[in-house]
Amino acid sequence: MLLSSRGLLIVFAACVHGALAGSVWPKPLNQTSSHKVLLLNPDTFYFEAREYDSSVLQDAFARYYTLIFSSPGYQPTGSQAGERLRSARHEIKRLDVYVHSNDQSLNLNTPESYELTVAAPHSTIEAATVGLLLDTSRHFLPVLIIKDTLDAMAWAKLNVFHWHIVDDQSFPFVSERLPLLSLFGAFSPEHVYTPDDVRDVVAFARARGIRVVPEFDTPGHTLAWGKGYPDLLVDCCDAQGQPTGAKGPMNPARNGTYTLLWSLLREVVERFPDAYLHLGGDEVPFDCWQSNPEVRDWMASAGVADMAALEQRFEERVLGLAAAAGRAYIVWQDVLDNGVQVRDDTVVHVWKWWWPVADGEGQPSTAGEAAQCRNGVPAGACELSKGCCPASGMAANDVPGWTHEMARVTQQGYKTLLSSPWYLNLGEMASEDWATFYQVEPLGFEGTREQHSQVMGGEACVWGEYVDATNVISRTWPRAAAVAERLWSDASVRDLDQARARLSQHRCRMLARGLNAEPLGPGFCPGDDLLEV
């Protein structure tokens, strides 16, 4: 079923509150506004489904009626607003929503466009990959916070929730087939997502037109997996081949590794109906694989020449398991960077070069000239607090470096997602970093029209090192909305002053609906003197 009810709130907010007239976020491809005031009366206004109806549509009608008329502190105030409403000669009594398909599934090809016509007495809407990654491993986020995030995503037209649900730090996903994963891998028995929790989140997202794509990163970022199943991971060894006590990535030499993954993936696809799984593949510590005698002996017997070939063997098997489970797959760019040849239908997620490469004199002009940059970051790597050191062939002063990666990946024919310039957790607190996110041009790389067509969209990322339930909403919003408009709206929409005003008003809407979105700068919102935090 094609549905764009998310577009309703912004136009109605303009009608209800004169000061917000025309303040649409994200900005549609085409918009025509006027100074005419049309009145919405909560006692007479209602929605009407045309052509097709469903419980999903009726639930959306109820949700948006509440948003329009019940948001605290978001009613016209002051003599001017009151006078404008009293002078309104026409009233919108009904919104006709024309839905042209009864297909209620969500997938990569679900149309997101809409056409909204506002006129008295009846208005009409005709409905015909913009994502956010949230990390729930480094800090556990309660389901209520995830739902708040999903609401905010819907208001900004973000339509994919990339759930980075597990990592080195914790494994909160409760597997009924592999119960030791969360029993020993979660922070505590309370810091978990049960099967009912996952179903609840997926259903909540679906009702808002949002797909949920889970990520189970492999073979690295898996230390929490090994707490319940220690044989899954490689023992890192010293020069004499003796275990050091440290664990590394998954053991690619053991069939048991793939048996466990197959069991988990079959359960994951039962919980998450989306066509895609994100399988990670980033930051694999090859040195641990290389140090382990069991892995080296297996490589020799299997004719695996080097670490790139070993990673390729692993990825071939894991992607094959995902395909056998009926899912398409996404991997981080590292897999291609390491020379692995993956399947043609693999989606490559570009995340590196999110920070200016190492600065200062004496930097290598290419990574081949030095093993690391002066900031201590190894060549071809990125670290959270230090930035990125250029990979081979990438000049140290190439900013943004992600444009080269996008060109390289699309030239090889892979579909691509972009996140590099939209790492929200790296923004500076006292700055207008939203403007930096907003000015990114995701197709701003050298390439053919065919290469540009390979870009499926992008995702803002909120990694969990320094955010938890106390601050994740304020650190994410409204900054993620800036990314949403860049990915949703026309490339010509660039006016920062105009965007600042509209985004500030969108932030006020979020406050009125109960989410503590950060301010963009000095100012106020109607009713913010009554907010409780």
Task: Show which residues are catalytic.
Answer: 283
Whole-angstrom Cα distance, residue 369 to residue 372? 9
Residue found by looking up tokens 């136009």 in the block: 11
Backbone angles phi, psi at 527, to 5 degrees: 85, 0
Backbone angles phi, psi at 91, to 5 degrees: -125, 135
Whole-angstrom Cα distance, residue 163 to residue 274? 12
Under 8 Å CB-to-CB from 173, ≥6 apart: which residues? 165, 166, 181, 182, 192, 193, 198, 216
Tell me if 327 sits within 8 A of 356, measured CB to CB.
Answer: no
Tell me if 293 sits within 8 A of 237, measured CB to CB.
Answer: yes
- Bond into 121 cis (ω within 30): yes
6 closest CA partner among 72, 68, 85, 88: 68
Tell me if 338 sits within 8 A of 308, measured CB to CB.
Answer: yes
Token digits for 91? 């009233």
Give the amino acid at 181: L
Strands of 94-99's sheet in order across: 46-50, 94-99, 122-127, 114-117
Token digits for 367? 């990574």
